[in-house]
Amino acid sequence: MVHVKCKEAGFDCEYPESDLPILIQDMQYLIRDELAIAKDSQINIRVKAKDKVLLQQYASEGGYRSLSEYLLAKGLQTS
């Protein structure tokens, strides 16, 4: 499971491993909402994975240090 929380967008949800492609698509909307409401250009989206193997797999896939960094990068690429 991957838990995603975005205060500005009012989003707090868990995604099973099988839904990670959907999570990556949703990230573009979270980023858009976060930037539209935030007072500055800082994106504040919290992503946690309970499965450490899953975390390492997705982060290392693109050379990223964390699942959060990976998902933000993918979300920005699609927006």
The secondary element (H helix, E strand) that includes residue 39 is none
The CA-atom distances, in angstroms, between 22 and each of 5, 39, 40, 58 are: 15, 28, 27, 14
Predicted confidence at residue 26, as pLDDT, reads 79
Q: How far apart are CA 12 and CA 3, in angstroms?
A: 7
When pLDDT is averaged across residues 17-28 and rounded to a whole number, the result is: 79
When pLDDT is averaged across residues 50-70 and rounded to a whole number, the result is: 71
Predicted confidence at residue 18, as pLDDT, reads 83
| pLDDT of 60 above 70 | yes
pTM check: above 0.85: no
Confidence of residue 20 (pLDDT cuts 50, 70, 90): confident
Alpha carbon of residue 78 to chain centroid:
13
Q: How far apart are CA 69 and CA 60, in angstroms?
A: 11
Q: Which residues pair with 49 in a beta bridge?
A: 2
